[in-house]
Amino acid sequence: MDVTIIGTGNMARGIGARVVAGGHGLTVLGRERAEAEALAAELGGGARAGEVGEPAESDLVVLAVPYEAAADLARRYDGATIVDITNPVDFSSFEPIHPGAGSAAEEIQAAAPGARVVKAFNTTFAGTLAEGAVAGQPLDVLIAGDDEEAKGRVARLARDGGMTPRDAGPLRRARELEAAGYLHMALTQGTEAPFGTALRVVA
């Protein structure tokens, strides 16, 4: 598959590392071309770089940007298979934001009605994605979406990157995934490894 990641921050680095580990093609788009070029070079795997707004003919477009920026960007990539990784949080108060649509993912879907929006990766922390595991155990990637083929692409990306995809159901389950993402942020701070923890389904 070909994956485009929009953003050059922590999650772009973490998810990009899993994309490359899985042997998939990667393009990083940044607001600053130089930032995107630097991250692409760091990630290796022949990753390409460009600027936000460039067309993305990829199998997946990952919005690795703050919640506040995601819906506008989704509009620009309407028609794509969009991966929403956001956790809507007011970082000045550390209180969760409750989008009117029910979840950030549903808000993004409403903003880009021609896109196939999949919620994923919001419950995994950036550093653990870059590492690929926590305490030697693979990461769970919790996935919600209404389009099975689109969810399948995200599941394949997770599996090829050494993680375990978990189907959480339709896109409206993004509400619960966003609550879980927030809960994980609250819980991790009381651990010996803040932001180095993982949520995992054990069977």
Ligand X SMILES: NC(=O)c1ccc[n+]([C@@H]2O[C@H](COP(=O)([O-])OP(=O)(O)OC[C@H]3O[C@@H](n4cnc5c(N)ncnc54)[C@H](OP(=O)(O)O)[C@@H]3O)[C@@H](O)[C@H]2O)c1
Q: Which residues bind ligand X (CB under 6 A)?
A: 7-12, 30-32, 35, 52, 64-67, 69, 73, 85-87, 122, 125-126, 181, 195
The total number of residues shown for the chain amounts to 203
Q: Which two tokens stand for residue 127?
A: 């550093």
State which residue, 148 or 193, has the beta carbon closest to ligand X: 193
Q: How far is the CB of 69 from ligand X (least distance, A)?
A: 3
Q: How far is the CB of 132 from ligand X (least distance, A)?
A: 14
Q: Which residue's CB comes closest to ligand X? A: 9
State which residue, 58 or 87, has the beta carbon closest to ligand X: 87
Q: Which two tokens stand for residue 123?
A: 């419950």
- Contact residues for 141 (Cβ-Cβ < 8 A; gap 6+): 120, 121, 123, 124, 154, 155, 158, 163, 164, 165, 166
Give the alpha-carbon dihedral of 13, 16, 18, 22, to 10 degrees. -160
Q: How far is the CB of 90 from ligand X (least distance, A)?
A: 11
State which residue, 12 or 49, has the beta carbon closest to ligand X: 12
Backbone angles phi, psi at 78, to 5 degrees: -60, 140
Q: How far is the CB of 160 from ligand X (least distance, A)?
A: 20
State which residue, 81 or 122, has the beta carbon closest to ligand X: 122
Q: Comparing C-alpha atoms, which of 192, 178, 61, 59 is closest to residue 123?
A: 178
State which residue, 116 or 121, has the beta carbon closest to ligand X: 121
State which residue, 89 or 110, has the beta carbon closest to ligand X: 89
Share of the chain residues as helix, strand and coil, in percent rounded to the nearest 5: 40, 25, 40
Q: How far is the CB of 70 from ligand X (least distance, A)?
A: 7
Q: How far is the CB of 60 from ligand X (least distance, A)?
A: 15
Q: Comparing C-alpha atoms, which of 103, 70, 67, 128 is closest to residue 180?
A: 103
